């Protein structure tokens, strides 16, 4: 594609969630990203405010309803009565609840934010992170190797799934999240030795 950026110029955002920080997994998580050949171009710890996290996760009806549908599917898979447990079976209302749990979790303790650059950085970091649900995440991924949580357990406790990391899912999400968490001048530019 003429004019398109070289694939190695792609940048994505990762957040190490409070469970990753509290378990002392910051180094392990960053190590896995670096050893794959991706480059850390900014990194910092932050105790995020509720407003900060609220504007980080999408607020669109689509996104919230999708979150609700995922929860309803889990309840169906495990034969749990959604209406009995959450007082509603409306996907949007359930999505709002899960989003609220997520805000509580992400503001409970500090998080680490990092900008990651490299070939197909967005997809690569998602792959290194593993599937959203830890009990389904592949071995060898961060979530697959270090977390045991499930939505059935998390929903029962009325909290977000503890899955160690957040990583941008799409180019649009990455663009929004990078400019949201970092100033442009905070993103560093350097060459790794393996780029020479």
In angstroms, what CA-CA distances link 4 with 10, 34, 176?
A: 11, 25, 19
Quick check: is 166 catalytic? yes
Please say whether the beta carbons of 17 and 106 come within 8 A: yes
The window from 2-10, 111-119, 149-157, 188-196 that contacts ligand GDP (CB under 6 A) reads: 149-157
How many residues sit close enough to Mg ion to count as binding (CB under 5 A)? 1
Which one of ligand GDP, Mg ion, none interacts with residue 168, CB within 5 to 8 A by kind? none
Which one of ligand GDP, Mg ion, none interacts with residue 154, CB within 5 to 8 A by kind? ligand GDP
Binding to Mg ion (CB under 5 A) within 154-173 occurs at: 169
Distance CA 91, CA 103 (A): 18
* Member of 26, 28, 101, 135 binding ligand GDP (CB under 6 A): 101
Tokens of 160: 């977000």
Nearer to ligand GDP, 75 or 182 (CB): 75
Q: Is 98 in the site for ligand GDP (CB under 6 A)?
A: yes
Q: Is 13 in the site for ligand GDP (CB under 6 A)?
A: no
Q: Which residue is nearest to ligand GDP (CB)?
A: 132
Which one of ligand GDP, Mg ion, none interacts with residue 137, CB within 5 to 8 A by kind? none
- Binding site residues, Mg ion, CB under 5 A: 169
- Binding site residues, ligand GDP, CB under 6 A: 67, 70-71, 74, 98, 101-102, 132, 151, 154-155, 160-161, 163, 166, 169
Q: Cite the active site residues.
A: 166
């Amino acid at each position: 594609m003429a004019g398109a950026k070289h694939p190695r110029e792609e940048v994505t955002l990762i957040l190490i969630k409070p469970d990753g920080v509290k378990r002392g997994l910051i180094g392990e998580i960053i190590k896995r990203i670096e050893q794959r050949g991706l480059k850390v171009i900014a990194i910092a710890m932050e105790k995020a405010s509720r407003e900060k996290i609220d504007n980080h996760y999408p607020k669109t009806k689509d996104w919230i309803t999708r979150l609700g549908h995922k929860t309803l599917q889990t309840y169906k898979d495990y034969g749990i009565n959604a209406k009995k447990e959450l007082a509603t079976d409306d996907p949007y209302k359930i999505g709002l609840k899960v989003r609220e749990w997520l805000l509580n979790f992400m503001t409970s303790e500090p998080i680490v934010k990092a900008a990651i650059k490299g070939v197909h950085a967005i997809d690569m970091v998602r792959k290194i992170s593993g599937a959203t649900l830890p009990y389904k995440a592949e071995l060898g991924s961060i979530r697959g190797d270090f977390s045991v949580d499930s939505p059935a357990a998390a929903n029962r406790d009325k909290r977000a799934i503890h899955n160690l990391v957040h990583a941008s899912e799409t180019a649009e999400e990455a663009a929004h999240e990078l400019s949201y968490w970092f100033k442009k001048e905070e993103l560093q530019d350097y060459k790794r030795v393996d780029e020479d």
